[in-house]
Amino acid sequence: MKIHDNNFLITGANRGIGLAVAKMAAREKARLHLVSRQPIGDLKDELLKLGAKSVVSYTADFSTREGVERLIQDLQKEKIDLLFNNAGL
């Protein structure tokens, strides 16, 4: 699987396995699209320092229909190459 230069969407990206995958993908120079319930804060800077080409964050609560629909709307303009679906809900 080629990660370098691809748009990589990771759900549950702010902690645990999702965060570890985000860091790994950053080192591989991916363009990261991170989804989490809470804003990612300083994580964006850390991932850019690790080598990510770009980092875009989305805040979404998958336990509500509105949260899922808003994320779908936000992603309409993006070309996602890889998905790591790690969200807990």
Collect the ranges in the chain with pLDDT lower than 50: none
pLDDT for residue 40: 87
The pLDDT of residue 75 is 93
pTM: predicted TM-score of the whole model, two decimal places: 0.90
Q: Confirm if 87 and 62 have CB atoms less than 8 A apart.
A: yes
The backbone torsions φ and ψ at residue 9, rounded to the nearest 5 degrees and listed phi first, read -95, 125
Say if residues 18 and 41 touch (Cβ distance below 8 Å). no
pLDDT of residue 89: 57
